[in-house]
Structure 1
Amino acid sequence: MKLINCIIVDDEPQARKMMETFVSQISGWKILRVCSNAIEAFEALQTFSVDVIFLDIKMPILTGIDFLKSLKNPPLVIFTTAYNKYAMDGYELNVVDYLLKPISMHRLLQAAEKVAERIDNRNVQNLTEQRPELSYMFVKHENKLIKINFTDILYIEGMQNFVNIHLAGKSYLITQTMKSLEDLLPSSSFTRVQKSYIVSMEAITAVFGNTIEIGAIQIPIGSNYKVDFMTRIDK
């Protein structure tokens, strides 16, 4: 498990000491530096890789709010303050939590859980963004998992409780929803043209009126889908 690295920023010595004592008891957390003002905090951010700032709001030189606004890519922030009037600022700045002094260990642990959740969500998002787009899918057909290349698909037809995937010269009737298939297909190559049809943009040979032609097959365009479809082919 990766350590969660944090800094504590507060102009009050007693508040700094209390936060340091509390945070040091949280498993998996490491305090990199304890700062008495925003200038020291800025230097810490230049020196360390910081995941979280415990940031007091009312400080001399530069307030916590102004300091946060000055950061281009800030870490996660937990505001610590004796004043609840700044809660709206915390919301607008997307801080993780807003802790009112005197801070209890129970409230601090709740904030720590929110931090862990934010970090987990960010890691999942990064993995999703890094995952290469597949050029195929597997579907269950007659007790087998059949690999189908997206480039081989002409169109997909919804048939009550089944979906028929039409390729050149063959088709696969499977038990799956249109929505689940639509989510698997690359949106750059496929489009839904009515409730019961998804077509490959590459496979389209002609469009006339409210009809799409794929070879000898004619597929009607639903009225709810026509504007989006025509926008795509007019690009």
Structure 2
Amino acid sequence: MIRYIIIDDEPIAHRIIEGYCNNLPHLEKAGNCYDAFEAMQMLNKEQVDLMFLDVNMPKLSGFEFLKTLSNPPKIIVTTAYKEFAIEGYELDITDYLLKPFSFERFVKAINKTINTVVKNRSATTSSSALKPTRFFIKGDKKYHQIATETILFIEAYGNYTKLYLNDDIIVSHEKISSLEELLSKDNFIRVHKSFIVAIDKIKTIEGNRILIDTHKIPIGQTYKSSIYKLYSSNG
């Protein structure tokens, strides 16, 4: 679960962000703040993984507030002013959402944030204690929440991408390269320009084929060395 706070002086911005977050069950609201000083108090009381931060606020701007924090949570900037983008990235924000932003754009920002939060937790927590990584993907006019441990393999299919899961197949317009960025290299491997497979789901490797469940997946010539490393250490 990722706990978030919203820091914005406009109530309508809170309603929009909360509405989007309510569609993503792995997000949990820790609080609402309408200026930087309320946010400081909130951070002292609550565990916060993510802040939705407006730039243009009274008393203290979003970036001025951010500079006062020694160990800030992940930041998604939400603002109507695109000219602040460069300064925002210099402050190591995760993403920069320009108001008004769509739910689809919001989901992309959340997916990027989930990846960085999980990586940070893995540095301080044993892997067995980590919750499975999850992300959202659009398919069939809906957003599907995908737990990465349910993925068997992913196939690029013309202008689409197919995600083969334990008990489902989801077809999306998302590029296979974008999905590859969301997946841990410890758990997934690119075996062909059109295929990514879950390493722990591989049943057998024979010749130029990988068997996962009943599916035979080709191994591309340029990926053979990566496949060889999977089993060569075991003799």
Residue segments in structure 1 that go unaligned for 5+ positions in a row: 129-179, 181-235
Identity score, percent = 39
Equivalent residue for 1:40, pick from 35, 38, 62 = 38
Deviations 1:140-170 (A, max 9, x none): xxxxxxxxxxxxxxxxxxxxxxxxxxxxxxx
Contact kept, 8 Å, 1:54 with 1:78, in 2: the verdict is yes
Within the alignment, does 1:56 sit opposite 2:54 as a pair?
yes
2:110 pairs, out of 108, 112, 115, with: 112
Q: Which residue of 2 is the match for residue 95 of structure 1?
A: 93
Report the 3-state secondary structure (helix = DSSP H, G, I; strand = E; otherwise coil) of the residue aligned with 1:6: strand
- The offset of 1:14, in angstroms, is 1.0
Q: Is 1:23–2:18 an aligned residue pair?
A: no
- CA radius of gyration, larger in: 1
Q: Distance in 1 between matches of 2:49 and 2:60?
A: 21
How do 1:1-235 residues align onto structure 2 when only pairs under 5 Å count? 3-126=1-124
Preserved CA contact (<8 Å) 1:80 1:99: yes
Letter in 2 for 1:74: P
Q: Is the 8 A contact 1:5 1:49 kept in 2?
A: yes
Q: Deviations over 1:44-91 (max 9, x none)?
A: 101100000000000001000000000111111110000100111111
Partner Cα separation in structure 1 for residue 14 and residue 122 of structure 2: 33
Contact 1:4 1:30 survives alignment (8 Å): yes
Number of matched pairs? 129
Kindly state the Cα deviation for residue 127 of structure 1 after the two structures are TM-superposed: 5.2
After TM superposition, give the deviation of residue 25 of structure 1 in Å: 1.4
Q: CA RMSD in A?
A: 2.0
SS at match of 1:60: coil
Unpaired segments ≥5 residues, structure 2? 127-228, 230-235
Query: How far does residue 17 in structure 1 lie from its aligned partner after superposition?
Result: 1.1
Question: Kindly tell me: are residues 31 and 125 of structure 1, through their superposed partners in 2, closer, same or farther at Cα, counting changes over 3 Å?
Answer: same
Give the structure-1-normalised TM-score. Answer: 0.52
**TM-score, with structure 2 as normaliser:** 0.52
C-alpha distance in 2, partners of 1:103/1:23? 13
